[in-house]
Amino acid sequence: ISIVLSGALAWLTERRDRPGARLWAWLSVAPLAIPAFVHSYAWISLVPGLHGLWAGVLVSVIAYFPFLYLPISAALRRLDPALEDAAAALGLGPWRVFARVVLPQLRLAICGGSLLVGLHLLAEYGLYVFIRFDTFTTAIVDQFQSTFNGPAANMLAAVLVTCCFVLLALEVLVRGEERYARVGSGAARQQRRASLGRATLPCLALPAIASLLSLGVPFITIGRWLVAGGAEVWRLDEISLALGQTLFLAMAGALLATIAAMPMAWISIRAPGPLQRLLEGCNYIVGSLPGVVIALALVTITVRVAMPLYQTLFTILFAYALMFLPRALVSLRASIAQAPVELERAASSLGRAPLKALWSTTIRLSAPGAAAGMALVALGIMNELTATQMLAPNGTRTLAMAFWSYSGEIDYASAAPYAFIMVAMSLPLTWLLYVQSKRMAGR
């Protein structure tokens, strides 16, 4: 369902001339700023009887379809229209051109986006708790919080990890090894958007409905609860404490993940090799694991081997670094690749020590990439729930934890300010992600 919805929205945005195309494109990405458990909170407030499998499918699609929309729309922007023109000249109709020319070139985007959605759904906890739909992740957390049954939780975690590996292997298998790069001289011309004509209004219905369900429902619900709660729900002491702890953990975790990713990113560009690729692959595999699995592993290790580290700041920051290091690694690697190695050599030849030469050239030039990576890591930490609940020191109360506590007490009005702040903090970063995706696609 997410593939079909995202593909249709991307096609209407990139290939059809419709009013407000840029606005509709942004509205298709903006749901990323709303945590999945806030989506579920909004829907269960609107429809209290929304439970079960199909409720989970509905909210999951609404919360995660932008992960597919972004790569599909970027791929559509970069396709060479000459290939479609050649297929049409050979007598193929529009549908056959799409099936035989366009769709195969979208395979990488669809596979990558589907993998992201699948991994997020395997790790999702809060979304499914609201609608009372049991998954491996909800069962693991229930075992840990209610009975402290370590062996049972570890067994469920092993099954969950196996599911993640199956998804990774399936993505590699479906992706294949075909060549997708354009061959030939010159640059591909820009795609021309076809007019919708009389179909303009009907075709606007799909993005309008998608925006209403993914953005309208959460914002209307949060606003309704804020109005219903009045000034009493704005407990400034509690909110400021939760905001301060959230920002501290987000900044500290982002800094640690970026520092840990820097050596790996530098080696991957300056000295690639089999060992480097193995270590980098391990980082991506660990990053793909659900947060509850990493948290459970650290709980087991600290309780059995290093009890003084159980529920300490070191442990929670270490968990954040494991979970979100790939976000920092990708951004740093791209920035370091754009920094000429000759600058490092020139600095060394002028008498600077290797570390000083590296600091004064490559690290300074990669600062924008490091900042982008830190922002992505910080966004993930601010909205992280399960690992924070299991590993954070006693007395820790982040925005997500406070929201979860009040919503668990069915005090939706008191939870609304925390949901509002989380969304407000995430929107600017989501906008930067949207702008960066268009820039990378050449728009």
Cα separation, 9 vs 292, in Å, equals: 33
Note down the domain range covering 314: 235-408
**Same-domain status, 144 and 263:** no
Is 398 exposed, middle or buried (CB count within 10 Å of its CB: 0-12, 13-18, 19+)?
Answer: buried
| 56 CB-side CA count, 13 A | 15
16 DSSP assignment: E
pLDDT at 299: 86
Show the low-confidence residues of the chain (pLDDT under 70): 16-17, 80-88, 90, 92-94, 99, 147-150, 175-199, 276, 334-335, 337-345, 354-355, 357-360, 362-363, 365-366, 368-369, 437-443
Say what the pTM is.
0.81
**Same-domain status, 162 and 283:** no
Residue at 37 is within a domain: yes
Residue at 420 is within a domain: no
Cα separation, 282 vs 46, in Å, equals: 42
pLDDT at 338: 63
For the chain, the helix, strand and coil percentages under 3-state DSSP, each to the nearest 5:
80, 0, 20
**Same-domain status, 364 and 443:** no
pLDDT at 83: 67
* Residue 133 in tokens: 């739909």
**Same-domain status, 71 and 124:** yes
Cα separation, 290 vs 395, in Å, equals: 24
Q: How many domains does the chain have?
A: 2
Which helix (H) or strand (E) is 195 found in, with range?
strand 194-195
Q: Where are the alpha helices (DSSP H) in 147-290?
A: 150-175, 200-211, 217-229, 236-270, 274-288
Residue partners of 154: CB distance under 8 A and separation at least 6: 296, 300
* Residue 194 in tokens: 């076809």
Cα separation, 350 vs 189, in Å, equals: 46
pLDDT at 122: 82
CATH label of the domain that carries residue 398: 1.10.3720.10
Q: Which residue has the tokens 């949207």?
A: 434
pLDDT at 194: 59
